A and B are shown apart, each in its own frame.
Chain A
Amino acid sequence: MFITDIRKEFYEVVANQRVALLVASDIDALCACKILQALFHCDQIQYTLVPVTGWQDLGTAFLEHKEQFRFFVLINCGANVDLLEMLQPDDDSVFFICDTHRPVDVVNVYNDTQIKLLIKQDDDLGVPSYDDIFRDEEEEEGGDSGNESDEGSEPSGKRRRFDEGAVERRIERQRARREWEARRREILFDYEQYEYHGTSAAMVFFELAWVMTKDTKDMLWWAIIGLTDQWVHDKITNMKYVTDIATMQRHVSRHNHRNEDEENSLSIDCMRISFEYDLRLTLYQHWSMYESICNSCYTSCHFKLWTLNGQKKLQEFLADMGLPLKQVRQKFNSMDMSIKENLRDVIEESSNKYGMKDIRIQTFGVHFGFKNRFLAGDMVHAATALLESTEKDESDSDNFIKALDSLSRSNLERLHSGIDLAKKKLIAIQQTVASCICTNLILSQGPFLYCYLMEGTPDVKLFSKPMTLTLLCKYLLKAFVQSTRNKRCKLLPLIMAAPKDMEKGTVIVVGIPPESETSDKKNFFGRAFEKAAESTSSRTLHDHFDTSIIELKMEDRSKFLDALITLLS
């Protein structure tokens, strides 16, 4: 069931209890987890934090901890499947689920005792009403058997007529039942067909902190990072992002007006969050302008930097702005102050000429100490790079802990190492995109586009991780749309496969919706993958919380694809 008052029905319930936190592996979940941990520290609520990477992990973690804990908080996992059936908990276990995955499974919505959803009942949920999908079975049988016993006691003269009447009624009832079931199937199919994302979990927990007036600037910053993660990884629409930014802006101005005035200005070491209408160039303040322009998806796709023409256009662009190449290739912090002063406006003016209307994006930046300035996007990229780093001897939970640490202000070296890893990742993505486009690796299969990364591709190890592969997929689709002339292909979704585990011989397959300006980011590949796997009995593992990411055995690849083509055409 949906919780209406998050303080009374969630926080005060767990206030004197011990709680298990099961947290999924994405940055929004990490930020939400940090906020909740800070609240628990305030009120001395004992908890245990366990990172989970998929459904199997979730099941194992639950089994290990179900003896000791009664209350479980699931962050960014668990809303889109029938949780009670999957985990088979005892009757007194209570699950608080704060998940951005939609659609929320109907059983989770209508269970009153064990599942509490920390989700606002927005308009975009569209949950079917109770009577459309559930029905009490007993009255049916009762009605039938009552009639039958009546029939037996009737005198024989009238028996035939009554028999016919009863039979007719039964046939009528069965027909109504079949109709109801067909309608139910249709409603459920429509409801569960598309997968998308809702409000950030970090923002939900920040609101809880705000309602209890225990919110701090750190928590506000984590909420902003959680929201930005959803935008960077293209999980929410532009409209929703702008609306949520406005919400966060209100909180930021509330915090900023609290302490600072003429006489008592804050020390330079205090944390300041500010609203920025900043450039869409990834990591540009920690890199050089040139590198950032070359490796940001937006600019790289618009200029088509994998072609010679594109490179020339970039040089023209820089010349048009009056930025000398030597300056632009330097580290951003070492650029001339005179250039840095009006940089954003100058770039915006020039990019309008080159057709890039949205080079600036609303976001937030943080500033503490003399050296430390970060944009929310920088933090997201750094933390994601740490979370999915492919160093040897590091398990998923090691990476989780590293990424979690990097979000605290006291672990700046971790953050900087994350930024370095992010730079390498972005360069790898851009090079892979360039090579895929130039060698025409993207094939149109009819209802969708398909691309397979061979084993020998450089940096292919990086792409065995789901979020990195999804990011590559999105960049590739954007680049493809820019570079192809085929009008029909521009509207197709993209499926990408990359080798995941050489020993087990599996590939990871990701599907993303088609690229468009007004895309609603709804992804139908989850159900499509399930059906295709079933029909060909391919050996697949649907372990990831996003149903559009699966693992597949290499040998079953071709028949799986064929099944998908038939399914979707």
Chain B
Amino acid sequence: MFCEKAVELIRELHRISDGQLPAFNEDGLRQVLQEMEALYDQNQADVNEAKSEGRAELIPSIKVRHCCLLRDQRCVTAYLYDRLLRIRALRWEYGSVLPANVRFHMCAEENFRMTIVVLSQLQWFSQYKKSLASFMRSLGGGEGLDITQDMKPPKSLYIEVRCLKDHGEFEIDDGTVILLKKNSQHFLPRWKCEQLIRQGVLEHVVS
């Protein structure tokens, strides 16, 4: 039956609904596009025949094929658009450098002999990255602000941490160096400490 392949593409994305990006179903898409090509050719032939020979009984089948074409187009665009949204979410989750296993699922190919222009997903991602970066640079009065740091507004910029073991020197953003000695307490910017807190070198002190 027509359009079944297209619906299968949609079902595939629907199955993995937690935001992960499945592999790009190149074969499926190619089949759908081929089906669309075949339908279009048939319709073209029938329209010519209907016009030239006045065979009105072909019109319903033309209509059916046209509907199938539209449905295929809708499914393909939905598939591609949903993948783009997922890729955009990846930027916010992982940062500007994607891990290798995620990148693998994005297709790099560019040519499709079809009327739908498909930009390669990796290219799209890099362009999105660039426009996000230029937007962030324009914030904060020319200084730039990294808005991907915190999804929710933080309670405080600085937190108090206590050093649990001797860690030696530690450099923070403005170049100053802090000596992390056991049992010393420091009041530092939050994002700098998060890494060390995860490692167990520092402990957040709540008072």
Contact = CB atoms under 8 A, between A and B. Distances in A.
Contact of B185 (A18, A44, A49): A49
Contact of A65 (B179, B185, B187): B179
Nearest to B159: A41
A49 B182 contact: no
A408 B207 contact: yes
B131 interface: no
B162 interface: yes
Contact of B179 (A37, A68, A395): A68
A410 B179 contact: no
B112 interface: no
A221 to B, nearest CB: 13
Interface in A51-83: 51, 64-65, 67-68
Contacts, number: 53
Nearest to A47: B187
Interface stretch (A265-273, A396-404, A549-557): A396-404
Contacts of A50: 181, 184
Nearest to B188: A46
Contact of B177 (A40, A41, A51, A67): A67
A48 B184 contact: yes
B139 interface: no
A127 interface: no
B183 interface: yes
Given A41-B160, A44-B157, A64 B186 contact: no
B135 interface: no
Interface string B143-177: 00000000000001110101000000000000011
Interface string B173-207: 00011110111111111000000000000000011
Main secondary structure of the interface of B (DSSP, over half): strand
Given A37-B160, A46-B158, A408-B207, A400 B183 contact: yes
A245 interface: no
A47 B177 contact: no
A18 B176 contact: yes
A290 to B, nearest CB: 36
Contacts of B187: 37, 40-41, 44-48
Contacts of A398: 183
B160 to A, nearest CB: 7
Q: How large is the interface on A (under 10, 10 to 19, 20 to 34, 35 or more residues)?
A: 20 to 34
Question: Could you say which of B158, B160, B177, B207 has the most chain A C-beta atoms within 10 Å of its C-beta?
Answer: B207
Contacts of B184: 48-51, 397
B173 to A, nearest CB: 11
Interface string A401-440: 1000100101000000000000000000000000000000
Contacts of A401: 162, 183, 185
A405 B160 CA distance: 13
A173 to B, nearest CB: 53
Contacts of A397: 182-184
Nearest to B169: A68
B183 A48 contact: no
A40 B188 CA distance: 11
Given A37-B160, A410-B207, A48 B182 contact: no
Interface string B63-87: 0000000000000000000000000
A68 B176 contact: yes
A48 B160 contact: no
Nearest to B189: A46
A40 B186 CA distance: 11
Contacts of B185: 48-49, 401
Interface in A157-206: none
A395 B177 contact: no
A65 B186 CA distance: 13
A358 B188 CA distance: 49
A47 B183 contact: no
A68 B207 contact: no
Interface in A291-331: none
Given A64-B181, A67-B177, A68-B177, A44 B207 contact: no
A210 B178 CA distance: 31
Contacts of B206: 410
Question: Could you say which of A48, A49, A64 has the most chain B C-beta atoms within 10 Å of its C-beta?
Answer: A48
Nearest to A68: B177
Contacts of A51: 183-184
Contacts of B177: 67-68
Contacts of A410: 206-207
Contacts of B183: 51, 395, 397-398, 400-401
B177 to A, nearest CB: 5
15 contacts: A18-B176, A37-B160, A40-B187, A41-B160, A44-B187, A45-B187, A46-B158, A48-B185, A49-B184, A50-B181, A51-B183, A64-B181, A67-B177, A401-B185, A410-B207
